Chain A
Amino acid sequence: MADADEIADKITDEITDEITMRVARYRPDKDRDPGWQEYTVPQREEWTVLDGLNHVKNEVDTTLAYRWSCRMGICGSCGMNVDGEPKLTCATFLSDYAPGPVTVEPLANFPVIRDLVVDISDFMEKLPRVSPWIIRDEEQSVDDGEYLQTPEELDAYKQFSMCINCMLCYAACPVYGLEPEFIGPAAIALAERYDLDSRDHGARQRLDVLIEEEGVYGCTFVGECTRVCPKHVDPAAAIQRYKLKAAQESVKMFLLPRALRR
Chain B
Amino acid sequence: MNDGAVVAAHDVLIVGGGLAGLRAAIAVAETDPTLDVAVVSKVYPMRSHSVSAEGGAAGVAAADDSLEEHIYDTISGSDWLGDQDAIEAFVHEAPRELLRLEHWGCPWSRQPDGHIAVRAFGGMKKKRTWYAADKTGFHMLHALFQTTLKFREVTRYDEWFVTRLLVDDGRVHGLVAVDLHTGRIQAITAKSVVLANGGCGKVFPFTTNANINTGDGMALAFRAGAPLKDMEFVQYHPTGLPFSGILITEATRAEGGWLLNKDGYRYLQDYDLGKPTPTPELRSMELGPRDRISQAFVHEEEMGRTLDTPYGAVVHLDLRHLGAELIDARLPFVRELCLKYERIDPVTDLIPVRPVVHYMMGGVHTDVNGAAGLEGLYAAGETACVSINGANRLGSNSLPECLVFGARAGRAAAEHASGATAAPHVVAAQAADEARRIEHDLLDRVPWEEDVSTIRTEMQATMEESAGIYRTGEEMTKGADRLRELQERAKRIGVRDTSRTFNTELVGALELANLLDVAECMLASGMQREESRGAHQRTDFPSRDDEKFLVHQLVTRDSDGTPRVEQLPVTITRWPPGERIYGR
Contacts and interface: CB of A to CB of B under 8 A. Distances in A.
Interface of A: 1-5, 7, 10-11, 14, 27-30, 46, 57-59, 62-77, 91, 113-115, 117, 119-120, 124, 127-128, 131-134, 139-140, 142, 145-151, 153-154, 157-158, 161-165, 190, 194, 197, 199-200
Given A124-B158, A132-B149, A149-B110, A66 B138 contact: no
Given A69-B43, A133-B146, A154 B107 contact: yes
A69 B495 CA distance: 21
A149 B582 CA distance: 35
B408 interface: no
B52 A142 contact: no
A259 B254 CA distance: 55
A77 B311 contact: no
Contact of A142 (B103, B312, B465, B505): B103
B52 A148 contact: no
B249 to A, nearest CB: 12
A220 to B, nearest CB: 28
Nearest to A119: B181
Contact of A75 (B47, B244, B311, B457): B47
A112 to B, nearest CB: 10
Given A1-B469, A73-B340, A133-B146, A149 B114 contact: yes
A140 to B, nearest CB: 7
B473 to A, nearest CB: 18
A134 B502 contact: no
B51 A4 contact: no
Which 6 A/B pairs are nearest by Cβ-Cβ distance?
A: A148-B114, A58-B453, A114-B502, A63-B497, A4-B461, A27-B499
Interface string B455-470: 0010011001100110
B543 interface: no
Interface in B82-140: 96, 99-100, 102-105, 107-116, 135, 138-139
Contact of B210 (A3, A71, A149): A71
Contact of A1 (B99, B244, B468, B504): B468
A162 B499 CA distance: 36
A190 B149 CA distance: 13
Most A CB contacts (10 A, CB to CB) among B47, B99, B451, B498 go to B47
B173 interface: no
Contact of A113 (B103, B460, B496, B501): B501
Contacts of A132: 146, 149
Given A71-B210, A127-B149, A165-B46, A7 B311 contact: yes
A4 B205 contact: yes
Given A4-B464, A149-B114, A153-B114, A62 B211 contact: no
Contact of B112 (A28, A150, A157): A150
Contacts of B113: 148, 150
A162 B247 CA distance: 19
B503 A65 contact: yes
Contacts, number: 184
A154 B109 contact: yes
Nearest to B500: A29
B499 A91 contact: no
B246 interface: yes
Contact of B340 (A11, A91, A154): A91
A70 B44 CA distance: 13
Given A62-B453, A146-B115, A140 B103 contact: yes
Given A139-B103, A150-B114, 8 more contacts: A7-B310, A62-B453, A63-B498, A69-B210, A76-B46, A77-B43, A114-B501, A131-B150
A145 B113 CA distance: 14
A14 B499 contact: no
A236 B502 CA distance: 33
Nearest to B138: A74
Contacts of B495: 62
Contacts of A2: 312-313
A145 B210 contact: no
Residue from the set B115, B210, B468 with the largest chain A CB neighbour count within 10 Å: B210
Interface of B: 43-44, 46-49, 51-52, 96, 99-100, 102-105, 107-116, 135, 138-139, 142, 146-147, 149-150, 158, 181, 205, 210-212, 243-244, 246-247, 298, 301, 310-313, 333, 336-337, 340-341, 451-453, 457, 460-461, 464-465, 468-469, 495-505, 508
A241 B465 CA distance: 57
Contacts of A69: 43, 47, 49, 210-212
Contacts of B181: 113, 119
A74 B107 contact: no
Contacts of B451: 62
B532 to A, nearest CB: 17
A86 to B, nearest CB: 17
A4 to B, nearest CB: 4
Contacts of B104: 133-134
Nearest to B102: A146
A150 to B, nearest CB: 5
Given A27-B499, A146-B99, A161-B107, A133 B461 contact: no
A77 to B, nearest CB: 5
A72 B49 contact: no
B105 A133 contact: yes
A76 B47 contact: yes
Given A2-B312, A140-B103, A142-B96, A70 B146 contact: no
A69 B358 CA distance: 15
A133 B150 contact: yes
Nearest to B43: A69
A29 B43 contact: no
18 contacts: A2-B312, A28-B501, A29-B500, A29-B501, A63-B496, A70-B211, A73-B336, A74-B52, A74-B333, A77-B43, A113-B501, A127-B149, A131-B150, A132-B149, A134-B103, A134-B105, A148-B113, A149-B114
Contacts of B146: 127, 132-133, 190
Contact of B453 (A57, A146, A149): A57
A142 B100 contact: yes
Contact of B149 (A27, A30, A128): A128
Contacts of B453: 57-59, 62
Contacts of A7: 310-312
A74 B211 CA distance: 13
B44 A124 contact: yes
Which of B116, B147, B313, B504 has its CB near the most chain A CB atoms (within 10 A)? B504
Nearest to A190: B146
A164 to B, nearest CB: 7
Contacts of B247: 72
A33 to B, nearest CB: 15
A10 B501 contact: no
Contacts of A200: 105
B252 to A, nearest CB: 15
A4 B465 contact: yes
Among A11, A65, A153, find the residue whose CB has the most chain B CB atoms closer than 10 A. A65
A151 B133 CA distance: 11
Nearest to B137: A74
A248 B109 CA distance: 33
